[in-house]
Amino acid sequence: MPGPRLLISLILALMLLPVVNTHAQERLCDTAFEDCRTPLWQLIDAETQGIDVGFWFMQDSSYATKLINRFKAGVPVRVLVDPRANPTYAGNEAVLNQLRDAGIPMRYKLTNGILHWKMMLFVGQNKLEFSGANYSGNFFVPDSPYVNYFDEAIYFTDDPSLIQSFKTKYDDVWTNTADYGNYANITGPLTRRYPTFPINPELNFPPTADFSQDFLTRTQQRLNAETQKIDVIMYRITNQGYADTTIAAVNRGIPVRLIHEPDEYRNLARQWDAWNMDRMYMGGVQIKMRKHLGLNHQKSVLLYGQGMTIFGSSNWTGPSSNFQQEHNYFTTKPWFFQWFVNQFERKWTSTTENEPFVPLPPTQPTYVFPANSAIAQATTLTLNWEGGPWAHKYDIYFGTSPNPPLYVANVSTFQSGAQAGQPLLDTGSVDDGVMESYTIPMTLQQGTTYYWRIVGKTMANQTATGPTWSFVTTGSVAPPAAPSGLTATAISPTRIDLSWNDVGGETGFRVERSPNGSSGWAEIASLGANQITYSDTSVTAQQTYFYRVRALNTGGFSPYSNVASATTPSPPPPSAGDIVLWAAEAPQRVGNWSVVADATAAGGPEHRSARMHRPIRQTISK
């Protein structure tokens, strides 16, 4: 019996232990700070009955060397591989050769959709290891704890139901001749090694014809069922369904936190990751990005209302949903959930491991057509440019001004999620080689210089503005149409007002006057564009004047308008106090004299003595 002191020490030690399974043989290993390779090495070294291995790639040859050692010691070893990883992952081919040359039986994935497993099963020890981590050094051992590591959680279990399920699934794949071929050292017919067990319903093995087992379908069901809070760590998010379901959760009041990988946000081979990230950002998902020096390759989801963890090999992508060979676990094991909660809180709170997400701008659009300063362009015209891998919407500035105005905003595509009524590109995509094009929906004027500028926008409305280019349309400018509806109105003995209807495309108007409407036309005014009234104050009383107007632009004059005429009225009779002179001829008048209609004025015709024959007056200011 231990003494009281030892007992207290034991209890304290138990209380200080990190969250562990009550089942002593299950554990999760955090690659941020733990060496998760040594326990796997130990399992390989200790196995005496049989080892089943499946992986996407293995760059760390230490696993291969240890597996070969056991194989040479008489332990049956089987390996499922995918040589399609060779071109991308240096060292994988050498490991496959190493295993093959040792005589280990190997089969490989033949059909489309990669083998994305990362698992080892140890028959004699009743142990299983699986995770999202590929068998390469950085995936299992940090270079520098919390500073330079790959985000992963490595799951070691002796849960009989999980081991039985993996045994059955492994035998299914091993004996599958439709999707898998013999890679090396297969002699005799393919046989199952184990009895066939039921698959634990918490496990998920895409691909499957059972639609309910589609990883997207299962994940969406759990996200839609959540009532409290969702935390996600996800390496790659290229499938719209996951993003939309996450945004929908935020919209019904469920907080969602997401830690993502910045290299995937700007992965030129995975452009739709940024589309989803920017949309989730706009949709209110709280997002942090890996800040440490390694890689966030983890795939885990925490559903607080359900106490559920979703963990495994599937990313939030189309291929991972129901195309690639995957293994995932939708489990409500409390210790498992709490372990991931603790891990998430540490990662989320740390200012050195992760940092708030800042949406990045797109690249500047590259113009293709029409070339800058091109001449003789058609008057119906399609602009062409390459908007790059990150822009999904465009503002198009277009017009005859050297600083063209916004012509159409947020032109997009249905692929990029254009809403009803939103203007659409003719063509366009962030996918490689798909050019953006937009046909200007009007006939352009001939012989005219047009200016255009494209602004690319991400789904988070970050922008990149292209240069301003110009082109000239074919032909010459046509003269404007003739002004119509000219009217002339005498306002006073010395003023006639004109007005007419505006025309399009003019740079100005010219007004002409004639004394008789047929000859003696003289230009009396030159007006600017859109000026459609004129007051002629160079007229005298009791005269009839004739007018016509024409418009002009760089193409020349329009035809003339109609001719309009007006007759100025008589001046008013003199009033008391006016001085009136009757003069037959008054060619030189000094001061403000004007002709009046009063034949009875002093010196007028009735007096017959004056030499002036028309009365004039000068108003006296009082």
| Contacts with Ca ion, residue ranges (CB under 5 A) | 387, 434, 502, 530
- Min dist CB 436 to Ca ion, Å, is 5
Contact indicator for 61, 136 with CB cutoff of 8 Å: no
Sign of the alpha-carbon dihedral angle for 11, 35, 150, 310: negative
Q: With contact defined as beta carbons under 8 Å apart, do 321 and 314 qualify?
A: yes
Closer residue to Ca ion, CB minimum distance, 2 or 528: 528
Indicate the residue among 155 and 438 with the shorter CB distance to Ca ion: 438
Q: Which of these, 600, 603, 573, lies nearest to 586 by C-alpha position?
A: 603
Residue 45 burial by CB count (10 A; 0-12/13-18/19+): exposed, middle or buried? exposed
* Distance in Å, CB of 318 to Ca ion, minimum: 20
Which phi and psi angles does 57 have, rounded to 5°? Answer: -150, 160
Query: Residue 434 CB, nearest distance to Ca ion (Å)?
Result: 5
Name the residue nearer to Ca ion (CB basis): 426 or 578.
426
Give the nearest distance from C-beta 386 to Ca ion in angstroms. Answer: 5
The smaller minimum CB distance to Ca ion, of residues 37 and 393, is found at: 393
Whether the Cβ atoms of residue 229 and residue 255 lie closer than 8 Å to each other = yes
Host H or E run for residue 436: strand 436-439
Which CB sits closer to Ca ion, 14 or 269?
Answer: 269
| Beta bridge pairs of residue 511 | 525, 549
State the Cα–Cα distance between residues 116 and 362, nearest whole angstrom: 31
Rounded to 5°, the CA angle 138-139-142 comes to 50
Q: How far is the CB of 389 from Ca ion (least distance, A)?
A: 8
The distance of Cα 333 from the centroid of its chain, to the nearest Å, equals 39
Q: How far is the CB of 273 from Ca ion (least distance, A)?
A: 16
* Residue 514: C-alpha distances to residues 38, 381, 490 (Å): 108, 46, 15
By the 10 Å C-beta count (0-12 exposed, 13-18 middle, 19+ buried), 516 is classed as exposed
Residue 551 CB partners (closer than 8 Å, separation 6+): 479, 480, 481, 482, 483, 503, 506, 508, 509, 557, 558
Q: Which residue has the tokens 């081979």?
A: 269
**In the complex, minimum distance from the CB of residue 470 to Ca ion, in angstroms, rounded to a whole number:** 23
Closer residue to Ca ion (CB): 240 or 415: 415
With respect to Ca ion, which residue has the nearer C-beta, 484 or 570?
484
Nearer to Ca ion among residue 240 and residue 363 (C-beta): 363
Token code pair at residue 23: 């089942």
Task: Confirm if 384 and 362 have CB atoms less than 8 A apart.
Answer: no
- Cα separation, 82 vs 326, in Å, equals 13
Residue 166, SS3 per DSSP? helix
536: its two tokens: 């002629």
Q: Which two tokens stand for residue 349?
A: 């709170």
Residue pair 511/531 in contact by the 8 Å Cβ criterion: no
Least Å distance between CB 476 and Ca ion? Answer: 19
Q: How many C-beta neighbours within 10 Å does residue 57 have?
A: 26
Least Cβ distance, residue 147 to Ca ion (angstroms): 38
What separation, in Å, do the N-terminal and C-terminal C-alpha atoms of the chain show? 134
Choose between 165 and 413: whose C-beta lies nearer to Ca ion.
413
Strands 77-81 and 51-55: parallel
Counting beta carbons within 10 angstroms of the beta carbon of residue 308, is it exposed (0 to 12), middle (13 to 18) or buried (19 or more)? buried
Of 217 and 562, which has the nearer Cβ to Ca ion? 562
Is the CB of 330 or the CB of 390 nearer to Ca ion? 390
394/545 with CB nearer Ca ion: 394
308 or 454: CB nearest Ca ion: 454
Q: Which is nearer to Ca ion, 409 or 529 (CB)?
A: 529
For residues 310 and 222, give the distance between their C-alpha atoms in angstroms, rounded to a whole number. Answer: 9
Residue 425: CB minimum distance to Ca ion, A: 9
Query: What is the nearest approach in angstroms of Ca ion to the Cβ of residue 431?
Result: 7
Q: Which residue lies nearer to Ca ion by CB, 226 or 436?
A: 436
Whole-number minimum distance, CB 529 to Ca ion, in Å?
6
Are 570 and 493 a contacting pair, CB within 8 Å?
yes
Minimal distance in Å, beta carbon 444 to Ca ion?
18
Nearest approach in angstroms of CB 405 to Ca ion is: 18
Show the tokens assigned to 332. Answer: 């409500």
* Shortest separation between residue 21's beta carbon and Ca ion, angstroms: 50
User: In this structure, what token pair is assigned to residue 577?
Assistant: 């106090």
CA-CA distance, 254 to 230, in Å (whole number)?
7
